Amino acid sequence: MQAARHAFGQAGYVHASIETIAHEAGVSTRTIYNHFDNKEQLFSAVLLESSTEVAQAREVLIDRHLGVVTDLELNLTELAREWIRPRKEFADHFAIVRRLRAESERFPDNLRIAWRTAGRDRARHALAIRFADLSRRGILNATDHQNAANHFMALIAATAIDEAYYSPTELDAEIDAVARSGVRTFLHGYLAR
């Protein structure tokens, strides 16, 4: 699965061959076909597994930063910083996502729906639950918690941050700027007054 994740991230679905994946994994193509009927099934398994891992990591971030809120702006900014910071362990996943978007016409709707459900929608739902709690406590003013989660994610993820373009110091400054401006904009619309 790791070899397939890397191959699909580097070459895309169309150009990553079962032979290349088998070679990178140090197994025979027969071994892969013993577990998966075809390349599409392998790709689907890889995409869903990596999407689930990213969503789980984001659920941990949400719990860490919004489990106990002492300063809403600070807590949300720290969450945003960690959310948008590139993580090496997910580099292949996000490479696959970029390629999936570019090759989207090749994939059936059920794969796209399963991908969104396992990853993005799961993370948004976890965030919406926290926003509902903050609204009940009078800290946020959000009647549609799912929409508030969508707005928060759009505001902090609107600027794609590719660490290849920045020095470590510049990367930290860019992440901080995006996180702060996104959170301030979010709070302008959702902070309880």
Q: For 101-151, give the secondary structure using H, E and C.
A: HHCHHHCCHHHHHHHHHHCHHHHHHHHHHHHHHHHHCCCECCCCHHHHHHH
Domain boundaries, the chain: 2-190
Residues 28 and 22: their CA atoms lie apart, in Å, by 6
Tokens of 109: 């709707």
Element (H, E) at 146: helix 145-157
pLDDT score, position 176 = 93
- Name the nearest CA neighbour of 96 among 179, 5, 157, 165: 5
Residues shown for the chain: 193
pLDDT score, position 164 = 67
pLDDT score, position 23 = 95
Q: What is the dihedral of CA 53, 179, 127, 152, to 10 degrees?
A: -120
Confirm if 124 and 149 have CB atoms less than 8 A apart. yes
Distance of CA 186 to the CA centre of its chain: 19
Q: Report the percent of the chain where pLDDT is more than 90.
A: 71
Residues 29 and 97: their CA atoms lie apart, in Å, by 25
Over the stretch 28-80, which tens digit does the pLDDT of each residue have? 999 999 999 999 999 999 999 999 999 999 999 999 999 999 999 999 999 99
pLDDT score, position 87 = 87
Tokens of 119: 């990853």
pLDDT score, position 160 = 63
Distance of CA 192 to the CA centre of its chain: 28
pLDDT score, position 95 = 87
pLDDT score, position 12 = 86
Confirm if 14 and 103 have CB atoms less than 8 A apart. yes
Residue type, 85: R
Residues contacting 33, CB < 8 A, separation 6+: 18
- Name the nearest CA neighbour of 47 among 97, 90, 87: 97
pLDDT score, position 21 = 96
pLDDT score, position 94 = 87
Q: Which fold has domain 2-190?
A: Tetracycline Repressor; domain 2 (1.10.357)
Averaged pLDDT score across all residues of the chain: 92
pLDDT score, position 159 = 67
Over the stretch 118-155, which tens digit does the pLDDT of each residue have? 999 999 999 999 999 999 999 999 999 999 999 999 99
Q: Please state the rounded mean pLDDT for residues 91-120.
A: 85
